[in-house]
């Protein structure tokens, strides 16, 4: 029924992943000009973890951490009823006003861009941010919508049938990113 995958290659190890997040944190601070109006909003689930880690790094640079929120895009998906099973609604937790702020959306993998489209709609329903930017750990290409990230941990050319797995200590016990390919040709 569901496709099984085997690991093809490791793309980022623990050190490289950490370095990528550090660089993203620096770029966010640089572009924001040290303003405190930046808020990070992670897309559930791994985007939230990445947003928290980037926030920690910004705190180390700036002295204070930016606000961090968690966004669940399930209710904004464009494929309702197309999947065999209804996606689980996990809830949005953004406890600060986003009106007039620079909001950096954070996700693990950027692929078709549909998740980001849903995330922007979800965000707009909560208020009117001044700017929305996008930070992703891995950009694997194959966009289906005109969406482009502002901060990229790693550009990773992939084929459509492959899958990119981001593993994080908090969820998977280890920090690494791998490319997987289907076991069935």
Partner 1 sequence: MGWKRKDLLSMRDIEATEIAHVLDTAESMKEIASREIKKVPTLRGKTVVNLFYEASTRTRTSFEIAGKWLSADVVNFSASGSSTEKGESLLDTALNIEAMSPDVVVVRHRASGAPALLARHLKCGVVNAGDGAHEHPTQALLDLLTIREKKGHLEGLNATIVGDVTHSRVARSNIHGMRKMGITVTVAGPPTLIPPACQELGVKVSHRLEEAIAHADVIMMLRLQHERMAGGLIPSLREYSRVWGLSLDKLRHCRPDVLIMHPGPVNRGVELAPEVADSPYSVILDQVANGVAVRMAVLYLLAGSKAA
Cα gap 23→57, rounded to integer Å: 9
- The SS3 of residue 73 is coil
Interface with partner 1 (CB under 8 A), residue from 26, 52, 90, 114: 90
Which uninterrupted H or E stretch holds 176?
A: strand 176-182
CB 137 within 8 A of CB 167: no
**Which long-range contacts does 85-92 make (Cβ < 8 Å, 24+ apart)?**
90/44, 90/45, 92/122, 92/126
Interface with partner 1 (CB under 8 A), residue from 1, 63, 64, 84: 84
CB nearer to partner 1: pick between 122 and 132: 122
Interface with partner 1 (CB under 8 A), residue from 29, 126, 131, 147: 126
Which uninterrupted H or E stretch holds 62?
A: helix 46-62
Query: Which one-letter DSSP state was computed for residue 76?
Result: G
Under the criterion CB under 8 A, does residue 1 sit at the interface with partner 1? no
CB 89 within 8 A of CB 72: yes
Pairing of strands 67-71, 38-43: parallel
Number of residues that bind partner 1 (CB under 8 A): 22
CB nearer to partner 1: pick between 127 and 141: 127
Choices 32-40, 82-90, 139-147, 171-179; region in contact with partner 1 by CB under 8 A: 82-90
CB nearer to partner 1: pick between 22 and 74: 74
Window 94-123: contact mask with partner 1 (x via CB under 8 A): ---------------------------xx-
CB nearer to partner 1: pick between 12 and 132: 132
Residues that bind partner 1 (CB under 8 A): 72, 74-77, 80-81, 83-86, 88-93, 121-122, 125-127
């Amino acid at each position: 029924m569901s496709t099984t995958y085997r690991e093809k290659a490791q793309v980022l190890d623990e050190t490289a992943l950490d370095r990528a997040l550090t660089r993203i944190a620096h770029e966010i601070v640089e572009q924001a000009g040290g303003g405190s109006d930046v808020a990070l909003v992670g897309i559930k689930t791994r985007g939230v973890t990445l947003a928290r880690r980037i926030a920690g790094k910004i705190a180390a640079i700036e002295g204070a951490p930016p606000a961090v929120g968690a966004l669940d895009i399930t209710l904004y998906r464009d494929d309702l009823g197309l999947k065999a099973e209804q996606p689980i609604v996990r809830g949005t937790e953004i406890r600060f006003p986003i009106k007039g702020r620079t909001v950096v959306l954070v996700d693990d993998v950027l692929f078709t861009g549909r998740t980001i489209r849903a995330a922007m709609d979800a965000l707009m329903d909560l208020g009117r941010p001044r700017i929305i930017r996008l930070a992703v750990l891995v950009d694997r290409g194959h966009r289906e919508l005109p969406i482009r990230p502002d901060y990229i941990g790693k550009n990773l050319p992939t084929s459509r049938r492959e899958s990119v797995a981001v593993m994080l200590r908090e969820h998977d016990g280890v920090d690494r990113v791998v490319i997987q390919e289907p076991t069935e040709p």
